[in-house]
């Protein structure tokens, strides 16, 4: 099931899936209209000469022109899409290319023109002149004309959509919306019942006695998804505990430890191929991180855009500030979410030691690299402090406010060290004094 889910995510995000479905639908529509034309009387067609007045040669000529123009426009759209992907990759970050590939508007527009081409080819094949028995599928030909007229509006929509999609604010907003949905879906995230303090103490007491045996990975890639129930099944079968060595978004190399297993009584025994395959089936590895179970990847995308904006070759402070604002919105959402601890229990015993994200790690992911890349940029320092104050307004724990306070202190230190004028340093100092009361533990 885990592999099927990962396969569906990859197929759903591909550029070819929706166009393929649309081409199949267009072919089915063409055959349906041709069969309908063959089964009805055409005595009423002369009453509408503007719609059905074309003969066999006229119908062929029109459909041929439509098919040729659709191929030309489809090639143009494909070229524009590739050009946009290259521009986005160089100006922002290659991490957002997947968002453009899975954009339903791009997929639908490309599929629309290709499907009209396929539709015209099918209908063209059924038109016969007088010497061939004389058959003109008038309804199917009319539908081809209607689709060609609609395609003009679709082309205008595509140009407008691409002009909007390559704007920094649109790219950042889209990444934020995906991350927001991932946070809502993933937190809280449980791997069975949460271990109570007594179970945690029991495990710590036994930690020195457990004999851990690594289970090697059978592939290389990033952990895209995880089957939690499958790991619980493995732990029950072993009558022991499974310790994850990599979490969602982590990179795994072939033949390195994917998890480690241990029995509560005795040793885990010889490592079998069945156990190795069963454990590996719980992990889906891919060439890149995905956001479905990895909210940190959404933060990573926005951070990369900010880093590119702060690079000397671009020096776009406004885009970096927009990124900081959206990162603050996501961390504010996380600030009052319950993060599950690493220990998970089943049948009154700790069964899984998971690699779990923490609020502190998310804060570091969001702000550390931006702070380091913003040397000498007072505007970014001021917005970072304001964002920390916004996050601190949420009902977080003392530990989470401590992580925010640490970031504020690091920003103040960077400002004192890198800002060139007393005026800018004083601005940061005043903002820090305004922010600190809300971050005190």
The per-residue pLDDT for range 12-47, each reduced to its tens digit, is: 777 888 999 999 999 999 999 988 877 676 665 655
**Burial class for 243, CB neighbours closer than 10 Å (0-12, 13-18, 19+):** buried
Q: How many CB atoms lie within 10 A of CB 307?
A: 18
Give the 3-state secondary structure of residue 3: helix
Could you tell me if 270 and 298 are in contact, meaning their C-beta atoms sit under 8 angstroms apart?
Answer: no
More confident residue, 2 or 13: 13
Query: Tell me, what's the pLDDT at 2?
Result: 57
Query: Tell me, what's the pLDDT at 91?
Result: 79
Q: Determine the Cα–Cα distance for residues 350 and 241; give it in Å rounded to an integer.
A: 7
Catalogue the E-assigned strands of 319-359: 343-346, 349-353
Closest among 333, 339, 328, 340 to 404, alpha carbons compared: 328
Could you read off the pLDDT of 201-258 as tens digits, one per residue? 666 566 556 788 899 999 999 998 888 888 988 888 888 889 999 989 999 999 999 9
For 202-210, the CB contacts below 8 A with 24+ separation are 202/349, 202/350, 203/241, 203/343, 203/350, 203/353, 206/264, 210/240, 210/241, 210/262, 210/263, 210/264
Give the 3-state secondary structure of residue 313: coil
Could you read off the pLDDT of 265-275 as tens digits, one per residue? 766 566 788 88
Closest among 292, 375, 319, 376 to 92, alpha carbons compared: 319
Could you read off the pLDDT of 259-308 as tens digits, one per residue? 999 888 766 566 788 889 999 999 989 888 888 888 999 999 999 999 99
Q: Determine the Cα–Cα distance for residues 409 and 266; give it in Å rounded to an integer.
A: 49
The encoded tokens of residue 388 equal: 């920390």
Q: pLDDT-based confidence at 189, cuts 50/70/90?
A: very low
| Chain centroid to CA 338 | 23
DSSP 8-state code for residue 240 = E
Q: Determine the Cα–Cα distance for residues 230 and 403; give it in Å rounded to an integer.
A: 34
β partners of residue 225? 284
β partners of residue 244? 259
Q: pLDDT-based confidence at 166, cuts 50/70/90?
A: confident
Residue 427 has pLDDT above 90, yes or no: yes
Catalogue the E-assigned strands of 229-378: 240-244, 251-252, 257-263, 283-286, 343-346, 349-353
Looking at 313-322, 345-354, 365-374, which range is the least confident one? 345-354
Residue 345 has pLDDT above 90, yes or no: no
**Domain map (residue ranges) of the chain:** 2-166, 190-326+335-358, 374-441
Closest among 250, 188, 235 to 351, alpha carbons compared: 235
Looking at 77-86, 298-307, 340-349, which range is the least confident one? 340-349
Query: Tell me, what's the pLDDT at 390?
Result: 92
Which CATH number does the domain 190-326+335-358 belong to among 1.20.120.1200, 3.90.1170.30, 3.40.50.170, 3.20.20.70?
A: 3.90.1170.30
The residue assigned the tokens 């590996």 is 280
The encoded tokens of residue 141 equal: 């030909």
Cα end-to-end span (Å), the chain: 44
Could you tell me if 106 and 15 are in contact, meaning their C-beta atoms sit under 8 angstroms apart?
Answer: yes
Residue 1 has pLDDT above 60, yes or no: no
**Average pLDDT over the chain, rounded to whole?**
85
| Half-sphere exposure of residue 440: CA atoms within 13 angstroms, side-chain side | 5
Residue 185 has pLDDT above 90, yes or no: no
pTM, two decimals, is 0.82
Q: How many CB atoms lie within 10 A of CB 386?
A: 16
Query: Tell me, what's the pLDDT at 309?
Result: 93
């Amino acid at each position: 099931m885990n592999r099927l889910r990962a396969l569906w995510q990859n197929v759903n995000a591909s550029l070819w899936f929706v166009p393929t479905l649309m081409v199949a639908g267009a072919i089915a529509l063409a055959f349906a209209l041709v069969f309908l034309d063959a089964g009805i009387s055409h005595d009423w067609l002369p009453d509408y000469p503007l719609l059905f007045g074309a003969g066999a040669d006229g119908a062929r000529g029109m459909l041929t022109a439509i098919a040729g123009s659709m191929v030309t426009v489809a090639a143009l759209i494909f070229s524009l899409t590739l050009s946009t992907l290259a521009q986005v990759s160089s100006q922002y970050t290659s991490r957002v290319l997947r968002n453009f590939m899975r954009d339903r508007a791009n997929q639908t527009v490309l599929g629309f023109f290709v499907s009209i081409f396929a539709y015209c080819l099918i209908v063209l094949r059924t038109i016969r002149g007088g010497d061939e028995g004389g058959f003109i599928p008038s309804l199917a030909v009319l539908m081809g004309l209607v689709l060609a007229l609609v395609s003009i509006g679709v082309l205008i929509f595509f140009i407008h959509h691409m002009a909007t999609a390559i704007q920094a604010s649109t790219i950042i907003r889209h990444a934020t919306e995906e991350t927001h949905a991932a946070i809502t879906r993933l937190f809280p995230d449980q791997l069975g019942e949460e271990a109570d303090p007594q179970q945690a103490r029991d495990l710590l007491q036994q930690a020195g006695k457990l004999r851990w045996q690594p289970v090697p990975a059978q592939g290389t890639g990033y952990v895209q998804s995880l089957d939690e129930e499958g790991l619980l099944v493995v732990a029950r079968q072993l009558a022991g505990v499974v310790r994850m060595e990599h979490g969602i978004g982590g990179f795994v190399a072939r033949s390195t430890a994917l998890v480690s297993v241990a029995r509560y009584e005795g040793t885990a025994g010889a490592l079998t191929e069945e156990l190795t395959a069963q454990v590996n089936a719980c992990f889906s590895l891919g060439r890149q991180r995905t956001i479905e179970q990895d909210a940190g990847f959404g933060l990573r995308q926005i951070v990369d855009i900010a880093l590119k904006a702060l690079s000397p070759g671009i020096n776009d402070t406004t885009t970096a500030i927009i990124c900081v604002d959206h990162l603050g919105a996501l961390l504010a959402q996380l600030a009052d979410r319950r993060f599950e601890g690493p220990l998970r229990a089943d049948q009154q015993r700790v069964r899984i030691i998971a690699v779990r994200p923490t609020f502190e790690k998310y804060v570091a992911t969001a702000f550390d690299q931006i702070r380091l890349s913003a040397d000498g940029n007072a505007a970014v320092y001021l917005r970072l402090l304001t964002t920390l104050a916004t996050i601190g307004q949420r009902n977080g724990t003392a530990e989470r406010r401590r992580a925010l306070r640490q970031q504020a202190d690091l920003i103040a230190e960077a400002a004192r060290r890198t800002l060139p004028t007393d005026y800018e340093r004083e601005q940061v100092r005043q903002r820090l004094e305004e922010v600190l009361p809300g971050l005190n533990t």
